[in-house]
Structure 1
């Protein structure tokens, strides 16, 4: 299994406890890659990207520059000649991982069934508080995923394996989590100052 992020990269975005074992974090990185990132990129593009990666998650030297940019980020000019700073896959993957980590870490599985964990140094969050926190992290992940989508659209000629699919958005919110959080101006079927559909039609 190739992991595209690790604990060091994770801690560049979120200050998690240093006592969390890397092996434990890898469990959630794997889930985020397989259940969030892969459906979003599409299987063909995802597997091609992984084929260009080394075992430590870095990109191979002989990989196309476009795939290096997809993974690591870059600056590029959009169709209007504006500079776009794209941060790569890491931010979205970190927050998809973090959401899954928070959601699972709150539960302890016992012989009599799952229970909310108790902590010696503080009070455990309530279920609604945990749900809100998970949704916040997935919201951040989805914002970064929008940047990935924009990068792929702006550089479509370099990624023939990628095809935009509206289902890609719902795949980023698997299960009974938030839906439709990404209805931004960027994805609206009109121009910023010339909306040509009623907003209710767009949201549906």
Structure 2
């Protein structure tokens, strides 16, 4: 079954002034759609992989489940599809979120000390990711929260990742995510991101991760 572009839960202009309308429209309809088109085209030649959903496809990156001739295109484009589908869901209009739940806040305090410390560490991971990539907050195998970053369209679900987490929050730091508005000022974009985090979705992602599941898309 071919992958399709997911609808957003908000209008393209809803994240203004923190994420501009044009960037959101291009990012969703052009960049994300390209990843979907590329991975669908690649998988057409390997019907035996059709039964893998996008999560299992990402978990198979770097393993012998993915034929060598498909490895790069699946890693880049299957990763791009999962990453963006996840990313859209953790965004919302600036006034539409109430912050982390009591359970998530307790986990944040236990793992990082405070929300401010979490933001400092997350912002550093996003800022120092060389070139294109992502920053992630997620649950580690030991049940605590951790922060990592990945290059290109990798994510912490992939066996090739340096750190393995179940993501509950992610930030795209590819230049196409921010350059029209922020140009080379990536730290400014990262700081603005916190104004449009959909904490209700992050809370749900955390609950899923506690239960041992990857958040649904």
Query: What TM-score do the two structures reach when normalised by structure 1?
Result: 0.31
Larger Cα-atom Rg: 1
